Amino acid sequence: MATVVKSFAIQGIEGHNVDIETKILDGQPMTSIIGMGDTAVKESADRIQSAIDESGYVFPKKRVIISLAPGDVKKRGSHYDLAMAIGVL
CB 39 within 8 A of CB 73: no
pLDDT of 56 reads: 94
Provide the CA 27 distance to its chain's centre, in angstroms. 19
Confidence of residue 37 (pLDDT cuts 50, 70, 90): confident
The domains found in the chain, sorted by start residue, are 3-88 (3.30.230.10)
Summarised one tens digit per residue, pLDDT across range 51-70 is 999 999 999 999 999 999 99
Parallel, antiparallel or unpaired: strands 30-34 and 14-25? unpaired
Whether 28 shows a pLDDT value over 70: the answer reads yes
Nearest CA to 75 out of 24, 20, 5 is that of 20
CA separation for the pair 31, 24 (Å, rounded):
9
Nearest CA to 2 out of 82, 88, 70 is that of 88
